[in-house]
Amino acid sequence: MPPLQVDRTAPPPPGELRAFRFPPFLRRTLPGGLTVYAARLAGVPLVSLELIARAGGQHDPTPPISPISKAGLATFTASLLDEGSARRDALEIAAWIERLGGYLSSAADWDSAYVAAALLAEHTADGLDLLAEIALSPTFPEPEIERIRRQRAAELLRRGYDPSSQADDKLFEVIYAGTPYAAPLLGREDTLESLVRDDVVAFYESHYSLNGATVIAVGDLDPEELIRDVEKTLAPRSGQEPAPAGPEINPAPLDGVVVHVVDRPGASQTELRLGHAGVKRTDPDYLALTVMNMLLGGKFTSRINLNLRERHGYTYGASTRFAGRLGPGPFVVDAAVSTASAGAAVREVLGELRRIREEPVEPHEMHETVSYMMGVYPYTLQTIGDVAKRLEVLAVYGLPDDHYDGYADRLAAATREQILEAAHRHLHPERIAVVAVGPADEVVPQLEGLGEVTVHRRPEPAAG
């Protein structure tokens, strides 16, 4: 064959597009109310199995609905599931799965609790047995409760000295005051100390019903056979009352721009967060907001990253996100900046937020963003874990089975007008919290004039 000639002066044209479809999966709701999603992905001999219960942090008892705050109860309960079952103690459970090279985790996010196992495909049936055992017969032994409590207390202490966590925690405390989202998922020191075994048992009894729960299985497996296995192991135990729906979470809008500086004397950099409450995952504007966010701060070539990093060199990276939750998840801008540029960086971000909600985005930006989101789609579906995550989204937010099949068409149909409208409705640069974690003496003067400034100084650590 003759050698190819290349033209370096312009981007080479693409070849022929090859089609991609979301992997097929089975969904079946069994008698008793347990739903199973199963997908075969046979690239490597591994499987991912998980049981999802409606037991996320949004259910943490919170005033005024509850007399006292029990922030952290949902994640505390979830983390205790694998610390003892009717058949085995905590170490026996860990040793069993680890000996097979597998991983077991039990945890909760704001929406749901997840008991998950990843292991070699040949151990799929055993893995399901294990999930059933720990999800259905946890014993919550007192010594394990105390051990996990101390571990979480130490983790809270660590977070209090980690600038990135400090910034997140302060932002959510400010923008979600009076709602479960205001506290870290882990809870606070005071609530953690107050939780007792009865709280955990009561939370488990009322929120871990299999009626309304979901099993997601992805990997080198036969979906029909998997569903039969679930019928044998888990389905006989379902048929309880369904778990209660979550509370309505309605944070009050902020009064204006509110500035909170968390003092970190001597810090060599300042962690910035700007944010406010956003929308539910099921909001009709969610797709338009996803496109808008991608263009604004969701990718490397986004407006905010190019501005703060490539134009000004203020930061190693800046990004934005709308977090999808059952309730109105946050809109957050995130950057660690050199302290001398903190004020300038905040003003640049606020300027970008105003611009995108007042002026239509440029046609070439719109094209680049939509094209990126369509092109990157197969990349985000390479692994068993990737596909399991997407099925979780269908299950947790009640989206239809063909949701992903229509994704490319919905993206292609998004317009600049929709982006502008969505930005206008859901971005609020005039009612936003600005959090800066850094040396207050240097940061506060730079942030004056934006809005009311509150400075938080760390109490001296107790002796000992």
Partner 1 sequence: MTLTASEPAAALQHELPFERATLGNGLRVVLHPDRSLPLVAINLWYHVGSKNERPGRTGFAHLFEHMLFQGSQHVGTNDHFRHLQQVGGVANGSTWFDRTNYYETLPAHHLDLGLWLESDRMGFLLPALTRETLDTQRDVVMNERRQRVDNQPYGRASERIHELLYPADHPYHWPVIGYMDDIAAATLEDVRQFFRTYYAPNNAVLTLAGDLDPDEALRRVEAWFGEIPAGPPVPPVSSMLAPLGGERREVIEDDVRLPRIYIAFRGPAYGRRGWYAGDMLAGALSGGKSSALYRDLVYERQIAQDVGAWISPYEEVATFMIVSTARPGVEAGVLETAILEHLDRAAVEPPRAADFERSRHRMLTEFYSGLQKLDNRADLFSQFTTYFDDPGGVAREADRYLEIEPRELTEYAAAHCSADQRVVVTVVPRASR
Amino acid 180 reads P
Please say whether the beta carbons of 238 and 30 come within 8 A.
Answer: yes
Q: Which is nearer to partner 1, 185 or 411 (CB)?
A: 411
Closest separation in Å from C-beta 93 to partner 1 = 9
C-beta closer to partner 1: residue 33 or 160: 160
Give the shortest CB-382-to-partner 1 separation in angstroms. 5
In the complex, minimum distance from the CB of residue 176 to partner 1, in angstroms, rounded to a whole number: 26
Cβ nearer to partner 1, comparing 88 with 207: 88
Find where tokens 């005039």 sit: 430
Give the tokens for residue 452.
Answer: 């009311």
Nearer to partner 1, 145 or 254 (CB): 145
- Provide the minimum distance between the beta carbon of 434 and partner 1 in the complex, in angstroms, as a whole number: 19
Report the candidate in 392, 397, 432, 426 with the shortest Cα–Cα distance to residue 37: 392
Q: Which is nearer to partner 1, 351 or 378 (CB)?
A: 378
Closest CB to partner 1 among 170 and 264? 264
Q: How far apart are CA 119 and CA 197, in angstroms?
A: 31
120 contacts 100 by C-beta, under 8 angstroms: yes
Q: How far is the CB of 53 from partner 1 (least distance, A)?
A: 22
Least distance to partner 1 from the beta carbon of 65, Å? 33
Pairing relation of β-strands 270-277 and 330-337?
A: antiparallel
Beta bridge partners of 118: 48, 103
Closer residue to partner 1 in complex, CB, 26/381: 381
Smallest distance from the beta carbon of 266 to partner 1, in angstroms?
A: 7
Q: What is the closest distance, in whole angstroms, from the C-beta atom of residue 151 to partner 1 in the complex?
A: 7
Cβ neighbours of residue 311 closer than 8 Å, sequence gap 6 or more:
none
Q: What is the rounded CA–CA span in Å between residue 330 and residue 286? A: 13
Contact between 281 and 324 (Cβ < 8 Å): yes
Ramachandran area for residue 313 (φ above 0: left; ψ -120 to 50: alpha; else beta): left
Nearest Cα to Cα of residue 456 among 179, 166, 189 = 166
- CA–CA dist 160, 416 (Å, integer): 42
Name which of 223, 201, 192, 214 is nearest 124 in CA terms. Answer: 223
Cβ distance 58 to 251 under 8 Å?
no
CB of 375 to partner 1, least distance (A): 1
Give the SS3 label for residue 416: helix
Please name the residues in contact with 158: beta carbons below 8 A apart, sequence gap of 6 or more.
none
Q: Which is nearer to partner 1, 19 or 255 (CB)?
A: 19
Toward partner 1, which CB reaches closer, 202 or 455? 455
Which strands sit side by side in the sheet containing 103-108, from one edge to the other? 26-29, 35-40, 214-219, 46-53, 113-120, 103-108
